[in-house]
Structure 1
């Protein structure tokens, strides 16, 4: 019986990926378009990784340049301001997910584990009026593997009673490493990883033993 659900944020609760694409294009506007486009492919294939990692990846792996921690922080702060201004609009909430969360709020314990920067993540959840549904809201720079592990350890949850729902390979890996079940969502390339949800209504059936 499942009692605990770990939710990824971007692409699962909030349809934010196009806005995050826009944000990265804006902070990297002084660089050649080809390099930025190559970076966006990496960004979209690794939705569960933090912006700190992605900014460093852009410099070291695509631009072949070095970047200091201070420079990473400057870019990350600029990116965060763009996100705070854009993503507080409730129109970006994924209604299918939100309906499940509201309907089953008394049946499960919810946690958010995200690659988004933690302060920004909590700010957005508060502004979107969804923070009340989650026992904790955890983000980067702590990597997702550790976010899940820390919560499992702290709350003493049973792994067989816990699942993670995500839209990226990094979410799948976080579930795999921590020994909990994974449900893919909103990314067809995950259909061979764990179980896959075309719609959240299907999750109710699975968890109730009807599917």
Structure 2
């Protein structure tokens, strides 16, 4: 049971928690791999929706190694990741995608908690999107992939000397729950009613 009175530090996932971006990112993966068989792409999209907390780099690698069954080099992964960025970054920078419930909470409580973002999204894209949406001002730090979220959260705890029992991760996927569990911090599962995901 979470004792909210003990919480001083909040780490937010981004996609599906702060930004209603899951649908756009799903479309982008479909576009990215449109030259591949439809049934293979569908399998990737199912994996993507079930694993919201992991990065595009991991999903691209998974597609080739576990669905297409061929090796892919780090250079090829980076090439696909850059194409994916072009397909998503501009669309995601539209303020209409901000989830009002979360944003209202952040604005109201920014002086009550130490707030951070740890996301599976590409860090450079994440920083640019947050700047364009004027979200950066609310967070002490913003972190993303290719570093895995497990490590991102661990680094936030260590670099800020946060106590585990005083820290909570707010996410919308099983992966986020596992990250919180691995780092021995509290977890709150966010339900975005516009997205069929973990908290459905």
TM, length-normalised to structure 2: 0.93
Listed as ranges, the gaps of 5+ residues in structure 2 are 1-5
| CA–CA separation in structure 1 for the residues paired with 2:136 and 2:129 | 9
Deviation at 1:167, TM superposition (A): 0.3
User: CA-to-partner distance for each residue in 1:111-140, whole Å, 9 max, x for gaps?
Assistant: 000000000000000011101000000000
Distance (Å, rounded) in 1 between the aligned partners of 2:130 and 2:197 = 27
Matches within 5 A, 1:34-45: 34-45=39-50
Give distance in 1, aligned partners of 2:25 and 2:41.
13
Hey, what does 1:136 align to over in structure 2?
A: 141
The correspondence of residues 40-189 of structure 1 with structure 2, limited to 5 A, is 40-186=45-191
**1:114 aligned counterpart, secondary structure:** strand
**CA offsets per residue over residues 82-125 of structure 1, 9 Å max, x none?**
11121010000000000000001110010000000000000000
2:197 and 2:99 mapped to 1: Cα distance? 19
Which of 4, 10, 17 pairs up with 2:22? 17
Q: Which runs of 5+ in 1 are unaligned?
A: 192-197, 199-211
Per the alignment, do residues 189 and 56 of structure 1 end up closer, same or farther by CA in structure 2, a change over 3 Å counting? Answer: closer
Query: Residues 181 and 21 from structure 1, CA distance in 2 versus in 1: closer, same or farther, beyond 3 angstroms?
Result: same
Provide the rounded CA distance (Å) in 2 between the counterparts of 1:121 and 1:83: 11
Query: Which residue of 1 is the match for residue 3 of structure 2?
Result: none
Shift of 1:190: 5.1
Separation in 1 of the partners of 2:170 and 2:81?
26
Root-mean-square deviation (CA, aligned residues, Å) is 1.4
Q: How many residues align?
A: 192
Scaled by the length of structure 1, the TM-score of the pair is 0.88
Aligned counterparts of 2:18 and 2:123: Cα–Cα separation in 1: 15
Runs of 4 or more off by more than 6 Å in structure 1? none
